[in-house]
Amino acid sequence: MKTLFRYATLSCLVCATGLAQADTGKLLLTGGVSSITGSAGGGLTPWAVIGTNATEGEIGVSSYFTRAVTQDYSLNSYGLALGLKDRVELSLARQDFDASPSIALNGVAAFGVQPGQHIQMDVLGLKLKVAGDAILDSDSWMPQIAVGLEHKQVRPGSLQSVFDFLGVRDSGTDVYVSATKLFLGQGLLLNATVRSTNANQNGLLGFGGKAQARSSRSLQTEVSVAYLLSKNLAIGAEYRQKPNNLEALGAASGLGNGLAEDDWKDLFIAWAPSKHLSLTLAYVDLGRIVPGITDGRRQTGYYLSGQVAL
């Protein structure tokens, strides 16, 4: 996956320099921003829109960097996306999760977790628009609909022994369907996504699990709403349902709710000073993340994200 990430990065840079930039007619912020997994949408969930500034018949590229910080954890995420004729989106993201509190797991068993441990995850995404058009159909009830997948590969480092204990896998693929409806006259965007997944904490804690854990896929719902205050400024909120696969396994292992997983929420403001740049600031509530080592604290904080699109 590491070699793939380098190859895809090089390919996107070649596209960005080798293709003429279109004088796009795509409206500001209607293509969403970059989610933490690299696909276009909100910060926490993909939308049916195709990222970059490319419209029909054009090819575009975008890149992003996101920094999220909560009471006990932090996450850096960065990546690239390629938009093909406003129909297909290819994305590649890398996440670096500061899992330093996990050293407390050495007090539970001889896991050998190293101080300052980070978890890294690569996400390869593909999205295909299958029906509707967010702009052209803005005066009707027809939403834009897209199907997508996110293949994730995790590198847990010294947390591999914990992964082995939980019986989780280090790779998995989410499949989702998104419907995005833009009411252009009212400046309102609504999105609903249904995701088939067995990821724990979006994949950062692996996929599935053994024994009492729920290893099979489940359907999770994600919703977003955004309101355009002006042509280049939007506010909104997101809610992302999570599968909570590991809590039962934690309880059976004598950890109580120490492996519980909660739904994610955010409130965001997005600003596009130009058609090539957007900045997003959000308050996030990620609920409990391995509460057994963080005294059950809810992980609230912020994320700041910047995107450059051609």
Residues sharing a CB contact under 8 Å with residue 152, sequence separation 6 or more, in sequence order: 37, 121, 122, 123, 124, 171, 172, 173, 174, 199, 203, 207
Residue 16 above 50 pLDDT? no
Which CATH number does the domain housing residue 224 bear? 2.40.160.40
Residue 295 above 70 pLDDT? yes
Answer left, alpha or beta for residue 32, where phi above 0 means left and psi between -120 and 50 means alpha.
left
| Number of domains present in the structure of the chain | 1
Residue 4 above 70 pLDDT? no
Residue 3 above 90 pLDDT? no
Record the tokens describing residue 176, joined without a space: 């989702």
Mean pLDDT throughout 28-42?
89
Shortest CA distance to 163 belongs to which of 290, 294, 13? 290
Q: Look up tokens 């909100």; give the residue.
A: 42
pLDDT band of residue 217 (cuts 50, 70, 90) is: very high
Mean pLDDT throughout 174-189?
95
CA distance 253 to 287: 22
Q: Look up tokens 């969403």; give the residue.
A: 32
pLDDT of res. 306: 96
Among 82-96, 121-135, 192-206, 208-222, which is the least confidently predicted range? 208-222
Among 2-6, 14-18, 175-179, 253-257, which is the least confidently predicted range? 14-18
pLDDT band of residue 23 (cuts 50, 70, 90) is: very low
CA distance 95 to 122: 6
- pLDDT greater at residue 15 or residue 176: 176
Mean pLDDT throughout 154-181?
96
Shortest CA distance to 32 belongs to which of 236, 176, 288? 236
pLDDT of res. 8: 42
CA distance 190 to 90: 23
Residue 151 above 80 pLDDT? yes
Shortest CA distance to 74 belongs to which of 119, 10, 138, 38? 119
Convert the pLDDT of each residue in 230-278 to its tens digit. Answer: 999 999 999 999 999 999 998 988 889 999 999 999 999 999 999 899 9
Residues sharing a CB contact under 8 Å with residue 109, sequence separation 6 or more, in sequence order: 165
pLDDT band of residue 136 (cuts 50, 70, 90) is: confident
Percent of the chain with pLDDT over 70: 92
Among 3-7, 217-221, 303-307, which is the least confidently predicted range? 3-7
Domain that holds residue 276: 2-309
pLDDT of res. 18: 37
Among 26-40, 277-291, 295-309, which is the least confidently predicted range? 26-40
pLDDT of res. 242: 96
Residue type (1 letter), 4: L
